[in-house]
Amino acid sequence: MKKKSGTRQQSSSGSGESINRRKFMGTVAAAAGVGAVAGGISFAPAAGAAAVHFPASSYLGGNGPFRIEADLRDCDIEGEIPSNIDGAFYRVGPDFQYPAPKGIPFDGEGHVSMFRIKDGHVDFKSRYARTQRYDAQAEARRRLFNVYRNPFFDDPTVRGANISRGTANTHIVYYNGKMMAMKEDSPPVLMDPLTLETVNNYYTWNGELQSLTHTAHPKFDINTGEIISFGYEGKGLDTDDVYVFSADARGKITWSTWIKVPYVGMLHDFAVSEKYVAFLCIPFATRVDKMKEGWVHFAWDNTLPTWFGVLERGGDGKDLRWFKGPGRCATHVMGTFSEGNTLYVDMDMALGNQFPFFPNLHGEPFDPKTASGYLTRLSVDLSKKNITEYSMEKLYPQTGALPRQDDRYVTHPYRIGFMPTSDPTKPLNAKLGHLPFRPTNSYTKFDHATRTTSEFWVGDDSSLQECCFVPRHRNSPEGDGYLVGIANRLLEGGRSDLVIVDTQQMDAGPVATVHLPYRSYSQVHGWWVSGEDLPKT
Ligand code: V55
Ligand code: FE
């Protein structure tokens, strides 16, 4: 096992960024808190260092920097929050701490917020994750880590220093009594679920995590509390080694193995059934040669195929089988199940690059049409020893991204899924005709047993972020409960509202809307924790 340096093991810091037109996330953290000195290195600003200034255009639209760490007791509520909702909706996304040269939205620092819902009241709180880079940047009062997952253009004061580049800006889950805020290039950051204080900026399962990285999309088995997870580029930049492991609910690693990928690139999410783990290797290639020219970590290489790799849980990584398919962009899993020896994985899948800020390697222009994602079922019958390709079936006509399911069914057979979608039959407010993309105007519920859908439409002036599912009761049937998610009011500068939708009456409008008095940063992913599972105050 590779030993982590003491510095990375336990210190803190941060980072930030500025904006481009398409960026859907905001900027940096309040520079108020002076962070701990990471590893004894001082990043104190030089006398007369430049004042912080974001370009004015950064603040336009819904994606500018937010930067405010909020404590808002008793939010304004329209409608009535069902009295059986007791829990917390957590969300995380990039929010620039300081202006950044490239304005890649995913380069903002992880900002975590929490809507605590209980007895018909809602309290809102948000805090930046005190990552090692956040703290270093706060102390320096400027950005030090400059380009998305590219170490070659870091500030000389931190280049090669033993400071985690992780932003903790991608996903947040509740595990082992802690919130884990995650970025796939580094170990998780642990935050207190009630105060959102950072309690460990480099969590390695007590040193047992062998990988230098950890995905933002671990999976949990609700029956056992077990986590199943992985880290790619696990032995360092551009390595083809992926660490796969599971650990029990108390944080003890119980299974681990290493696998090799066909080519090095983004392994964003993965799939876990009761029997298998599966990986999708998509054509976002890691290109160190391009990084040295200032490019971000990934370049979309339209000459590459997509590979689907399957391994039995508990197995030895050398037994993993790779199955080939045409080049596709697919980042998130809705649900996974196996029937006999056949594994099924449902993902949103597009023909081409879905991230306008990740460049196309061969110079083709970004194409919004091939960026549209459709729910697609990948499958492979593992009893067939000679097959070399996986199968694909497009499941529904809706376009969207960020699919979710009833999280109680993760790793188990499932029937119901949810996804933010763009319904082209719904009107768009005349004042929004200038928008380059149709807003994400709906949450769609998918019933795979009947292949039917139902839809919540948010209105002609709003755009929806990812939703999370809240069970109506602890033992309510699959998919019976509520969706919670943020709507940005596009005619109000993107002001944020939390909408609460009954999944049995998707088309009835929200049962309640929680008004924030401002626009919060955009989330990437969120997580629901039931009040019974939260620590007692
Ligand atoms: C994603 C998000 C990321 C990232 C890589 O949704 C992939 C996909 C917010 O950061 O670094
Ligand atoms: Fe993700």
Per-residue pLDDT, 37:
28
DSSP for 323-336, written as a single string: EEE---EEEEEEEE
Q: Kindly give the number of the ligand 1 atom that is closest to the alpha carbon of 332.
A: 6
How much distance in Å is there from the Cα of 184 to the middle of ligand 1?
8
- Cβ contact 241:267 at 8 Å: no
- Cβ contact 414:337 at 8 Å: yes
What are the phi and psi torsion angles at 202 (to 5°)? -160, 80
The verdict on the CB of residue 268 being under 6 Å from ligand 1 is yes
The verdict on the CB of residue 488 being under 6 Å from ligand 1 is no
How much distance in Å is there from the Cα of 328 to the middle of ligand 2?
16
Go through the domains of the chain in sequence order and give each one's CATH number.
36-530 (2.130.10.10)
CA 341 to chain centroid: 30
Structure-token pair, residue 36:
């701990």
Per-residue pLDDT, 209:
98
How much distance in Å is there from the Cα of 524 to the middle of ligand 1?
8
The pLDDT mean for the chain works out to 90
How much distance in Å is there from the Cα of 183 to the middle of ligand 2?
9
The verdict on the CB of residue 331 being under 6 Å from ligand 1 is yes
Q: Kindly give the number of the ligand 1 atom that is closest to the alpha carbon of 148.
A: 11
Q: What is the pTM of this model?
A: 0.92
Per-residue pLDDT, 528:
98
pLDDT at 3 over 60: no
Q: Count how many residues are written for the chain.
A: 537
pLDDT bucket at 55, cuts 50 / 70 / 90 = confident
Percent of the chain with pLDDT over 90: 85
pLDDT bucket at 24, cuts 50 / 70 / 90 = very low
Choose between 117 and 104: higher pLDDT: 117
118-138 average pLDDT score: 98
Distance CA 467, CA 402 (A): 8
The DSSP call for residue 520 is: P
> E strands along 263-409, which residues?
270-272, 276-281, 284-286, 298-300, 306-312, 321-325, 329-339, 342-350, 374-381, 391-399, 404-405
